[in-house]
Structures are given as C-alpha cells and as structure tokens.
A and B are shown apart, each in its own frame.
Chain A
C-alpha cells in the first residue's frame, strides 16, 4: 500500500507534506523528484512531518511524496559482515563505486546484494516443526564467520520442503506450512529498526567481556550483555577506547557505529581492521566487524537512525547465539540529532533544548542490551553488550545526555582531561568511574588470582588514599609528608604508570591478557606490602625509591608474557631483603 502526497514546506531536514489519505507515523517515504529517503515523525491535522535522511536542497513545495507504507527496516541476512554502511544501511563501498568519492543524493542501493549467491546448508528437514527464531541452516559468510539463518520472529509451522544449495538472499530456500498457508523461506528477512527484536528470556549477567584493557577488565569491568558509557571532553580517548575494545574484546561480533563523528576515524578502521587478527582465534578482525558510518557532515536525521540500525544488526547476531558488542560513538551526536528534529517540530524543549523524551529514548536504547535465551526451540544464549561514548559540551558531566545515561548503564568510565593532558591513557579516572558488574567479574577472575577481590581492593584503596594525600601535598609539599604517605604516593605512581597507563599503540601493551593483568597488579601490591614495614622501621623513602626494581615494575607491562613478572618478583624480594639487611630490619 503506497500513498501519494505533495510537499507543503521544507525547513532544513524537515519536510511537511499532505497525503491523499492518512499516513502512519514511522512510515518510510520517498521525498521529491529525487526520491530522497525520509520517515514520518509526526502527524498533525492534515499534515505529515517528515525527517529526511538526505540533504533537502533544491526540493520544492508541490513536489511529490510517496509513503511506502513500511517502516524503516534493516535487511538481515548474509552479506553484512565486514562492510561499511551508512545510517540507513546502504553500503558505502557500493555508493562509492556507483557515484564516486562524494556521496550524491537519491542513490538507491539495497542493503543486501541481490545477485550474490550463498552456499546454504540446512539444519532442519522436511516435517520439522519450527518457530520464530529457530535456525534453519547455515551459510559460511566469510572464512571464519558462520551465518545462522533464522526463521523470522512471529512465524511458525512445519517445514514442507528445504534445500541445500546456492541461493541469493531473495530466492526461496524452502517452504513452511503455517496455519495461514504456505510461506516461502529465504536467507534474508527484514526488521523495523526501532522495534527491539524479541527473545525468550533475560538471563542474569555472569561473564565479563574481556577487553585486554587493564583499567577496564580489572577495575571497571563490563559484563557480556551489560552496558557501559564512556563520557569525556574532546580528545580524552573515547574513540580510541571503543576501537581498542572492538579490536581486542572477546566478542563474536562487533558493531561499530560512527554516529556523527569523523570520516577519517571510519577510514582508519576500514584501513586497519583487515590487517589485524583476533589474538584468540587468529581470525581477521574485519570478518567479525560491521561498521555503521554516519559521519558528522552527513544528514542529521540519518544519524539519528544509525544507532537503531546498529543495535538491530547486533540483536540479529545475538539471536543467532553470538556474543555481540555494539559501540556507539557518539550517543551525544545522536541526542543532538533528536534535538534538532524536535526543534524543527517546534516541540517544547526541556533541558538544554533537548526534548522531554530524551531520557526515555536513552533508556530504550540501553534496554536493548542483555544476555538472553533467544527465541526458538532449545536454550540458545546470545548477548548484546552496548557501549556508548558521550561527548558532553565543555567536558561538563552535569549536562543532560551524561546524567541521563548514567542512570541506565552498568559501567561508567569517566574520562579525565587532566590525565589526557599528561598523556595518561586510557584517561579513565579511577575515582569517578564505577562498575556494577564486580561480582560477575570477581568469580571469573578467581581462576587467575585467588584473592582477586582483595588485590583489586588494596590497589584501588591505595590509589584513593594517594589522591587524598596529594590534596595535602598540594598545600604543604610532598617533602613535608611523613614517609609512610610518601610510600603510598610512590606505589600509586607505580600503579598508574605500571598498570593503568596502557598505550593503544604499543606493540605489546595494546592488549594485556587476563593472566598478565592479575600478575602485574599483584606484584605492585606486593611491593607495597614488602616496602611498608621497611618504612615503618625508619628506612628513608628515598632508599626505597632508588631501588632498581621500581622502574622495572613499571616496565613489566611492555614485556611479553608473565615470565618477566615472575623473575621480577624474585628480584624484588632480593632487593628488599638487601635493603632491610643494610638497615638491620627483619623483613616480614
């Protein structure tokens, strides 16, 4: 069913139209002679308000509008993995081939390639009863990625026929007998991006997402199926962190949404991911990654849609039983797009011009994360972890997007400009950040370090204490502090430089395996327990600081594996004992 209408008014990305009959909110429309993509966002009397996903220059009142009668959907099926898509799922690589290096308007590209054939291997057979979410078979989409073909949610019946072979996404692979008649089965189906994909049941979160980034895994972990937010002013390291996680996290699928950010950052991912391999599986990283790139100078409304597209893709892979991590960089640009459209609709603004429903929208987005039992028979489990960058104006965390996000996320990585200025990266402030998944992490970590909870708590405690001591030091000078406190400052420095600082660009340190994380943290904490009695017995702090082992402990992170840590432990004990002997103190 398609409705015809005409343009009444154009105001930036907002187009007002009148239709011959009443259209529906959320319907996808083709606007003007160029057939630009748009979506109906509001109805008022005779008028339909359309947010247009492409630049509207040159449109005139009186030009035609066609309501397609369908909402904005994602096409789901083989052919997405490893690609770079715009906010409405057009392949940017294909756009480039079609229209050159500059994006032109009105280009029609169907998300999934209609001519490409995929080898389909059924896993159900004639006579099987299947319900929505069941796996019908598999397609080896890339060398290492197995695409599981799902029966779309809401369909059920008996397999009448199903064939193995080579199919395009549109060709029938079989038929299903349903209560309302036969239904053809295909490799692809569609799903409205704004509607969460259903699942059977939410599961408690029980496994951390291991990212290889120490400050995250050890101090502020996120669970598989959990949510995290990373707010920070410009240049504090949001993008680099999300890229690090995309590269090294132990997820099966990564969806990286560049929402209103830089074109070069997207190009960087496209250029570098194919060269990188997953340290665990040896798979090329690009084979598990989908990039949604709606950069800052692309139309604002498609930016708003891009987040929903990315999450919908994520849910689809989750439903196959995969662990998916979706990164949204930056949710602030999405919120601004929301504000822009709301402003043009002349809605009453709440804080900072954002619509009153901002908070609800943020909540809805983060609600789509989770670890679930998927639809379909059996107990297939998948997860979608959602990580969102927030770009607060002026780096001020009291603004609406940051504060509302904070209410809905499980982990909060607060970036700190001061740390960034001294090139302490990741610039995650250990006093302002939090994770609600510590219990989950604790269990998991106990296999690497029996006393993980305790070691972590001691380390964090020392860092907190050091922050307080520094306050005093700012007034009276470090020199005037008692040596016990100066030791805490020293150990805090060792924790910062030797553990928290982790360069994304260091060939070894860019990824730190859990075993090494645990060993590194332990050895620095142990250094404190060995040195502390010496100080108590009056050995001057300078003597402790001068120990050769001190810089060595700060360099262990750069050394491959944990053997150097074991060696350093022996050396550390030796040096401490020697110092104790020098002062005739019996070490503990």
Chain B
C-alpha cells in the first residue's frame, strides 16, 4: 500500500464502536478513501471511509480496535485502497492487508490498482467454454468446470475441502494444452495449519513459484478479511488480463469473510435480514465473485473457486445460499459420504455446474458426455430414493427395479465418486466408468441417453464389436 506521507493527522475521534471509528471536524474527506490510524502503541492500522458528512466521518478499521483510545491519530490519504501490481508478485506471500510475510521487501510498482476493481462490462465478456479436466470424476463427469467459471465448494468443518481444492489445483489442465494455472490463494480466518497445508501442497508440486498467497489467519484481525479477497482478485485480474495468464483463485473460508461484513453491519446498526447478515450481502459477495471470467480479446482468464463451510451443514444459510445465487454452480461435500469412506465426498445431486454445457461435447470431451451425466443424475436420484425406502420397508420391500437402482447408487459412490487424492482420471476414463455403471441398469431405463449413443458406448455393444 502506498504510504502517503503528507496530510493532517486528526485527533478528534469521538467514538469507537466495534470496528468503527467516528471522527469529527474533518475536512475534504472522500467516501471510501483510505485512512491510516496510529494507535497509542505506535502501530499503524488501515481503515476506509464508510460514511462521510461535511464535518464527520465514519471509518471501518481493518485491524484491531481493542486497545485503541480516542487519542488515536487519524490520517486521510486521499486515495482509494490500492495495491502495486507487477509480475514480481508471483511467488510472494502477503498478509490479509498486503504486508509481506515472506521476509522480502514491499513490492513496488508505478501501476497501482484499486482493490475494488472495475465491473467487467457484460458486453465485453467472453462466455467461458474451455473444459478443464480436474481428474476428478464427480466434477469432470457431472459438474464440469470451465476456464473463467466461478465454482464454489460448499463444505462443513472436518470435511476434506482443502484436500479437494489442492487436488484440483494440482491436476487441473486443459486436455491437449499443457498450460498450468497460476494460483492466487486467499485465506480468511482459517487455521495456520490449513494455510500451511496449502503452502506445502503448492511447494510439492512446484506450484508455489506460480502462486501468490494472501493470508489472513484465524488470529489475524477479522475486519481485515473485508479486503483480503479483493486484494486477491485484484492480483488475479492483473495476472489474467494484463499478463495473459490463466489464474485459479482459491478463497477460503468465505463464511469468515461474511461474518466480518456482518460485524460491521451490526456496529452500524443496520437493519439485519437473515441471521443478522445485512441486506447487501448478495451485492457485496457479487463484487468479489463477479470479477472472475474472460474478456473478449484477452488471452488470460480468472477461474474462481471459493470454499465455504456451511454453518450447521445448512445450505439455506445466507452465505452458501447467496453464493449459490451468484456463482455458476456449486460442488457440495456431504458428511454422510465422508463417513462411508468416500473421497471426495461430493454429493452430486445438489451440485451443479451451469457452464458445463458450453464446455463439453464432441469437440472437447465426448459427444455422449451430456446425456451420460443426465442419466447418472437420474439413476443416482432413484437409487438414493430406494435407499431411503430400505430404511422403512427393508430390502425385501423393494421391487426388482428399485433394487437395481439401489445397487447402482452403491456402485456409483464406490466406483465413480470415490477415488484417490492422487488419482488423476482422464475424461475418457471417467466416462467409461460411467458406462460400466449404467450397464447395471436395464437398457430401456436409459431414457436420458440418445439411442445412438447407447449403441456406440454401452459396454454391451462395445464388447460385441
């Protein structure tokens, strides 16, 4: 962050309330400008202007306010929150508010970018359509990811979302093109060991020297989390749209971000909507998520994978709910599957990739891909329904057909969803496993697959060849 040396220091703070500071007698202050606050101990903390009138300003403080008193020095910098960008950011580690954590000097550049970014003009967007092979069947086969998509992982604490994200980061490729992703990793309020896990993972695969890490950990100031994902996306945009790189941004945990936003809202005494979250949570999240994508005429792309833990496993909780309303699908992890030893414990039924249709098919994956996926969904839904029935009427109460569905569901979880954390399946392998499973069902029940594809890909006919 540029240090603005000049400027008046105000000592006219009249109130400190949670993360908010109220300063009187100020002049010439702009909405949203950056503020530097010097605490009694001489430490400097960042803030921004949230509300400003002719002679007072309300400031949100990105550091701890506990320990501050009304004598803090408040200096308005006259600038929006900006960071210097250059290719030297690659390989670096920063704090959640962009202090270097790797012992190296502060990055310098004449190119300063507003962390809020701009809005990509919808007319200038290029529709993401390049299939990314993650090597994970439940994703590639049924919830395919494409370059420039925003696809979150909805999880619960204790589930292997970090392993999954790391596996995706490790394995993601465009079949036929051996380009790697640059990774921008933003941590918000996660434990040190989790951050360490990612660092080691990136190190092992050599991804670290193509990664930028922005870390706000559990013991770092919560309000700082407001800027962390924005810094990450600013860097990602720069790498993608200025340096032509393909970027994968991983953000975890968005629930902690939203809680930081909520605490500011509560301190401002805004009218809460659900669970105390402000009514603008949707729009606020959108300003982070919508920065992913592709732009016409630009080579690079920003693919976004936010991770969030659903409090109480509740998908209707505002954070997963509003995220799902903004992102282009979601990958949902389920405790029940994890307990049964399935890795990755992806529950495909509520999972979705909206951009899948543009990325798959004859030219990129295989022509039967969409139909196979649809059929798997339907069959697995029937299977889980039969499973519910078994609990009530027992296996003997099932019809022949229901038993087949049930068997399918079991096999589907064991052979299709389940795989090793280092197992990297090609899309061809994934689809072939799918067909082996579909072959468990009577052919006339494969109603979602075109007849021609059955003739071409069903193991029964393939063997006959």
Contact = CB atoms under 8 A, between A and B. Distances in A.
Contact of A393 (B31, B274, B358, B378): B274
A555 B381 contact: no
Interface stretch (A160-168, A293-301, A515-523): A293-301
A62 B290 contact: no
Contacts of A391: 325
Contacts of A340: 279-280, 283
B19 interface: no
A337 to B, nearest CB: 8
Interface bin, chain A: 35 or more
A297 B447 contact: no
Interface in A482-540: 497, 503, 505
B125 A263 contact: yes
B52 A234 contact: no
Given A264-B128, A297-B290, A393 B321 contact: yes
Contacts of A423: 374, 377-378, 381, 448
Contacts of B374: 423, 503
Nearest to B375: A423
A353 B119 contact: no
Interface stretch (B168-176, B256-264, B392-400): B392-400
A296 B125 contact: no
Interface residues of B, number: 83
Interface in B240-294: 241, 270-274, 279-280, 282-283, 286-287, 290-291, 293
Contact of A95 (B51, B53, B123, B286): B123
Contacts of B370: 505
B329 A235 contact: yes
A439 B319 CA distance: 43
A421 interface: yes
B51 A9 contact: yes
Interface in B128-182: 128, 148
Contact of B399 (A262, A297, A478): A478
A262 to B, nearest CB: 7
Contact of A58 (B33, B295, B352): B33
Interface string A312-335: 000000000000000000000100
A497 B375 CA distance: 12
Contacts of B366: none
Binding site of B, secondary structure by majority: helix, strand, loop or mixed? Answer: mixed
Interface in B30-87: 30-33, 50-54, 80
A474 B389 contact: yes
B447 A62 contact: no
B126 interface: yes
A297 B119 CA distance: 7
A10 B148 CA distance: 35
A393 B273 CA distance: 10
A477 B393 contact: yes
Given A101-B296, A266-B125, A267-B125, 11 more contacts: A58-B33, A60-B52, A235-B324, A235-B330, A262-B328, A263-B290, A340-B279, A343-B279, A421-B377, A550-B444, A551-B445
23 contacts: A9-B51, A10-B52, A61-B54, A92-B122, A95-B123, A100-B124, A103-B119, A104-B118, A258-B122, A264-B328, A268-B358, A270-B123, A271-B127, A297-B283, A297-B287, A353-B271, A393-B321, A394-B317, A422-B349, A474-B388, A475-B392, A477-B389, A477-B393
Interface of B: 28-33, 50-54, 80, 116-128, 148, 241, 270-274, 279-280, 282-283, 286-287, 290-291, 293, 295-298, 316-318, 321-322, 324-326, 328-330, 349-350, 352, 354-355, 357-358, 370, 374, 377-378, 381-382, 388-389, 392-393, 397-399, 402, 444-445, 447-448, 450-451
Among all A-B residue pairs, the 5 with the closest Cβ atoms: A102-B118, A394-B316, A477-B397, A422-B381, A57-B32
